[in-house]
Amino acid sequence: MHHDLMDRINSRYDSLSKGQKRIADYISQHADKAVQMTAARLAVEANVSESTVVRFAALIGYDGYPKMQRALQEMLRIRATSVQRIALTEDMPPQKALSVVLKRDIQNIRRTLEDLNPDVFEQAVQIMVHAKNIYIIGLRSAAPLAEFFGHYLSYIFSNVQIVGEGVTHVMEHLVRVGEEDVVFAMSFPRYSSRTVEAVEFAKRQGAKIVALTDTLISPIASLSDCALIAGSDMALFADSLVAPLSVINALIVALGLAKKEEVSDYLESLEDIWNETETYFEKRADAQ
């Protein structure tokens, strides 16, 4: 079972020395600052020796201070409040935002391409192709992803329902979910508790669960039959959802190809309707 840094600290706190407790207290109270510190700097802030910091990291189960620091980064990525997220990038000048954020998004996509198992991706495609009904859950920051995915899936399937927050409770959308259905759930730090509850309910009803999330230890990945992992390292208080959107685009293409004939016939009918209703702007031949 996964235990993050604070779990490890809390479980060992009573057995720590006074100096080690000062380190633990500083990390607990100032995690957003400690995450950027060297072992030497953390030692100064906690009023202990650098060697005590190194021993502290080993004592709570990490193979050296750098491993503990990475664990702290991971913990903050998942647990950080919006205020703490801002603090993590408070030294970034606004004029650097464009290059920093786009480079981070490129890194997220590259890491996703390297880490996402093609066999798992194909498994997700097959699960969805054979579903009686497809429910798409994306709440909070994942809501735009759900709307985008649902919009294009409606060109491929006639059995798609977007589960969102609104007047109707999330659970009411899932009241008829069953064993032949698929729930495609998306959630990224900070994870939506409503999404987790909805996935737990659907799983109890026997539905297949396909998850799109940031790590295999996320709460919806552990509940899923198939988990697609996409990098979503945060940029300030906003989630970086470029890589998840790329995975969704790939799913749309793969699903469309799997049902190519049906999609072609449907789109041909839609084109006739769009032309009749002038849905899309086209420059008139007589326009000056």
Question: Residue 52: which CATH number?
Answer: 1.10.10.10
Look at the chain and report how many structural domains it folds into: 2
Q: Give the residue ranges of DSSP H helices in the chain.
A: 5-12, 18-29, 31-34, 39-46, 50-59, 65-79, 82-88, 97-115, 118-129, 143-153, 170-173, 193-204, 242-258, 260-277
Could you tell me if residue 285 is inside a domain? Answer: no
Buried b / exposed e over 145-154, threshold 16 CB at 10 Å, is bbebbbebbe
Same domain, 63 and 23: yes
What's the confidence (pLDDT) of residue 235? 52
SS3 226: strand
Which of 71-75, 87-91, 206-210 is modeled with the greatest confidence? Answer: 206-210
Q: Mean of the pLDDT values across residues 190-219? A: 91
225 against 93, higher pLDDT: 225
List 213's β-bridge partners, or say none: 229
Please answer whether residues 120 and 228 qualify as being in contact, where contact means their C-beta atoms are separated by less than 8 angstroms: yes
Could you tell me if residue 95 is inside a domain? Answer: no
Could you tell me if residue 40 is inside a domain? Answer: yes
Answer whether residue 97 shows pLDDT above 90. Answer: no
Q: Could you give the count of Cα atoms lying within 13 Å of 64 in the half-sphere of its Cβ?
A: 4
Could you tell me if residue 88 is inside a domain? Answer: no
Same domain, 204 and 142: yes
Could you tell me if residue 11 is inside a domain? Answer: yes
Q: Mean of the pLDDT values across residues 201-219? A: 91
Quote the CA–CA distance of 228 and 213 in Å, as a whole number.
6
Same domain, 265 and 189: yes
**What CATH number does the domain containing 190 carry?**
3.40.50.10490
Same domain, 212 and 252: yes
Choose one of 79, 95, 117: the last residue of a domain: 79
Q: Mean of the pLDDT values across residues 252-268? A: 87
What's the confidence (pLDDT) of residue 83? 52
What's the confidence (pLDDT) of residue 77? 65
- Identify the band that residue 1 occupies on the pLDDT scale cut at 50, 70 and 90: very low
Same domain, 203 and 68: no
- Identify the band that residue 121 occupies on the pLDDT scale cut at 50, 70 and 90: very high
What's the confidence (pLDDT) of residue 236? 54
Same domain, 271 and 135: yes
Answer whether residue 118 shows pLDDT above 50. Answer: yes
- Identify the band that residue 191 occupies on the pLDDT scale cut at 50, 70 and 90: confident
Same domain, 111 and 153: yes
Answer whether residue 218 shows pLDDT above 80. Answer: yes
Same domain, 154 and 258: yes
- Identify the band that residue 2 occupies on the pLDDT scale cut at 50, 70 and 90: very low
pLDDT (tens digit per residue) in 17-39: 999 999 998 888 787 778 778 99
Same domain, 146 and 34: no
- pTM here? 0.71
Q: Which domain holds residue 13?
A: 5-79
Span of 39-53, 77-91, 240-254 with lowest mean pLDDT: 77-91
Q: Mean of the pLDDT values across residues 170-189? A: 90
Residues, the chain, total?
288
Same domain, 223 and 139: yes
